[in-house]
A and B are shown apart, each in its own frame.
Chain A
Amino acid sequence: MKLIFSMLLVFCQISLAHENHGAELKAQPALPGTSIFHLESEWKNQKGVSAKLASFRGSPRLLVMLYTRCDTACPLIVEDLKEIAKEVDTKQKNKVDVSIFSLDSFRETPNSLRTFSEKRKLPSHWGLFTSNADAVAELAAALGVRYKRLPNGDFIHSNIIYFLNGNGEVIAQKEGIKTPQGEFVKKIKMNL
């Protein structure tokens, strides 16, 4: 009886040790102070799947904030994104990730994101995200995006494309539509 008990005890210790080891493997180094992964907001993508920003950890990406009902600047900035992605991808085996975050917490839904993605023929690995007003305000504040909702539901907003490394730090940004992108592309290639 005593023997069985002590065997059980040893067994428990082994399995405990094993669990500890697993936890050690999972633990990641602390996030850099300026990482946008500090933001805890929840977003839904065009498939209706929820995600936190920290789930992007490990993969560099292009990021932009816009809204899909916008019919002036937003289609143009998406064309810019496509061109930049194409230039960056030529020498990369894996395609660069692209994430589009909607400013329109009032009307954007996974459905409207999906419709936009289809209409603009966006590559299937691009993620489009929507969330509540607080989440939008905080992400915009962290990035330096300025925006304003007008009474008719349209938005005035900055047109800035960001490049983030796998730790969620902004490495480079390109302001304006159809502005020169050579420097921006160069910085991205150096950090992929």
Chain B
Amino acid sequence: MIYSAFILFLTFSPSVFGKEVKLSEALYVPVFRDPGEISTKVGPLLVDETPVTNNEFLEFIRSNPDFSRSNIPSLYASSGYLSHWISDTAFVKAESDYPVTHVSWFAARKYCATYGKRLPTIAEWEVFSDAQNPKLESKILQWYAKPGSKLRTVGQDRGNRFGIKDTHGLVWEWVDNFAEAIMSGDSRGGSSTDSLFCGGAALKAKDPTLYATFMRFAFRSSLTAKYDSANLGFRCVKDNMRGSK
């Protein structure tokens, strides 16, 4: 009994896991539209205030050793998986609260599911990050233009208008349906890769000035599920049943 109470404390210890921010129901209007797409309802959600950290991910690995660096099947991750860690269960202590990176889609998805959450969809991410706010466009582009920027402890920016932090300027983030971002030769027309996709061109910009949105779209379309990189992390969301309309 004492033992199980101890485990519970470890798993749900508030000192390890970050806060969640309430996001009311909102409307997402995609910039790149496919036939019939106008807008999607998003939320109400509870969104992780900050990206998942090395420390948080370590807790997950401890309860899911199948996802440690040496155990994870190569179906779920490439050789770069958690390559910035010192071992299966150790990393540089100063980086405890840095966002975890070098994680695959499979691992990020499993992490969220373990805590009763899930990865956000593209629509949800675009809304809660306030990414399509024209006032943020230049700030976001400045960050995209800086290759290999250094990581830092999460939660140090002021947060956006929803109170959600680090959506731009720290790491790129996994979305659950990254595989929906389809950018093939057919967007230019007449390409030999036309027949690769059923349903035609997926890339139809409503407003070509939204260059940052285009960059994210292109990035997602280049991802594969076992990919990882030094600046790709994630955060989780969950549906907020009691959320306000």
Contacts and interface: CB of A to CB of B under 8 A. Distances in A.
- Which of A35, A74, A148 counts the most chain B CB atoms within 10 A? A148
B75 A33 contact: yes
A156 B34 contact: yes
Nearest to B225: A141
B15 interface: no
Contact of B199 (A141, A157, A160, A178): A157
Contacts of A152: 35-36
Contacts of A138: 106
Contact of B196 (A31, A39, A140, A158): A158
Interface in B162-214: 176-177, 179-182, 193, 195-200, 202
Interface in B20-47: 34-38
B224 A157 contact: no
B73 interface: yes
A188 interface: no
B73 A159 contact: no
Nearest to B201: A156
A159 B195 contact: yes
A156 B105 contact: no
Contacts of B182: 146, 148, 156, 158
Contact of A146 (B38, B180, B200): B180
Contacts of A70: 198
Nearest to A30: B73
Given A140-B179, A152-B36, A156-B182, A35 B195 contact: no
Nearest to B183: A146
Contacts of B193: 176
A155 interface: yes
B37 A151 contact: yes
B199 A154 contact: yes
A92 interface: no
A29 interface: no
B36 A36 contact: no
B76 interface: yes
Nearest to B180: A148
Interface of B: 34-38, 73-76, 105-106, 176-177, 179-182, 193, 195-200, 202, 221, 224-225
10 nearest interchain CB pairs?
A33-B74, A156-B199, A141-B225, A73-B198, A148-B180, A151-B36, A176-B195, A146-B179, A33-B73, A177-B195
